[in-house]
Amino acid sequence: MVGIVSYGAYIPHSRIKTDEIALTWIKSGEEVKAALGVFEKSVPAYDEDAVTLAYEAARQSLAIFKGKFVDIDVVLVGSESHPYAVNPTATIVGDILGIGNTYLAADLEFACKGGTAGIQLIAGLIAKQQFTFGLAIGTDTAQSKPHDQLEYASAAASGALLLGSKRVAVELVDFCSFSSDTPDFWRRDGMKYPLHAGRFTGEPAYFTHVQGAARMLLNKTGISVGVVDYCLFHMPNGKFPREVAKRLGFVPKQLESGLTVSQIGNPYSASTFVGLANILDRAIPGQTIFMVSYGSGAGSDAFLWKVTPEVKRLQTERKKARILVQDFLNNKTYINYIQYLKQTHKL
């Protein structure tokens, strides 16, 4: 059995309301909220970047891991806001964590699904008994140009999954991927902010790939949507995951526990990680989780997870340490637009 041995998630405490951004640009906050399904978003502090966020999530996962840090063999970090173009985030995180030197480290980039690609790579290495434990991390301080539509949702957060084959809390039953050259969102080297193709990001991009990966996994596993306890999809806004769930035959009850987008926005590579952590904070043994990520460019990774009795220990430890996702959702301080510019654009 290969799967999640421990997990962590981190959300910065600063928040800016959609109404505050809309007011700055003389827009209707109610119209924006109705269009995107995002009411506020998380904002990194002035001294927070993708590395510090990744460390916080990884530290959580290791704090409740009953083992030695030096037993970790792999650290893979998915992000589209790595602070260095040349100098890996993975080794910085590994060094701060103190896991030694005998580990494989790499940074992954595939827009919002770099982290989930890391899950697949680590799972394969563990299944082949090449390694024992590995950290897959999704972390982002999402960039957006002022007055761009992305500004209402681009957010900051991180998530970390410690994968292994001993004391597995969530079994990885199966996974698959669906990819194509569909450039709906991009940022060329040297450009400060990403560009996007507007409505093109919906049908030929997000929906085609998420549905493609989801249906492939349903066929591969033979499982029906009706027997799945939770479903989770990448959350670029509040509407897309609800729409794709409906198209695939899932009902709102299966989706709601993983939906964090209305409260924190879209933290890119961390989106499905945070949603999964929120589900795992309340899941019970025997339940199944159907998860599909999405990254522009474009591709989706689909996973089927099954919760084991070991999850109860993790939930108890996380509750004691006050590091449940709900704790981070509740711990927030609202800032105005000027503060937001200072913190995100380092003014």
Catalytic residue among 56, 80, 151, 310: 80
- Please identify which residue in the block is written with the tokens 């650290």: 75
Give the integer Cα–Cα distance in Å for 252 and 8.
Answer: 25
Give alpha helix (H) positions in the chain. 18-24, 29-36, 50-63, 89-97, 114-127, 208-221, 240-248, 252-255, 261-264, 271-280, 311-321, 325-330, 337-345
* 231 included as an active-site residue: no
3-class secondary-structure state, position 250: coil
* 112 included as an active-site residue: yes
In eight-state DSSP terms, residue 26 is T
Give the integer Cα–Cα distance in Å for 310 and 299.
Answer: 32
* 317 included as an active-site residue: no
Catalytic residue among 112, 176, 209, 231: 112
Alpha carbon separation from 344 to 42, 92, 135, 140 (Å, rounded): 11, 21, 27, 12
Please check whether residue 261 is in contact with residue 268, taking contact to mean a CB–CB distance below 8 angstroms.
no
The continuous run of DSSP H or E covering 40 comes out as: strand 40-43
Catalytic residue among 151, 209, 234, 310: 234
Catalytic residues: 80, 112, 234
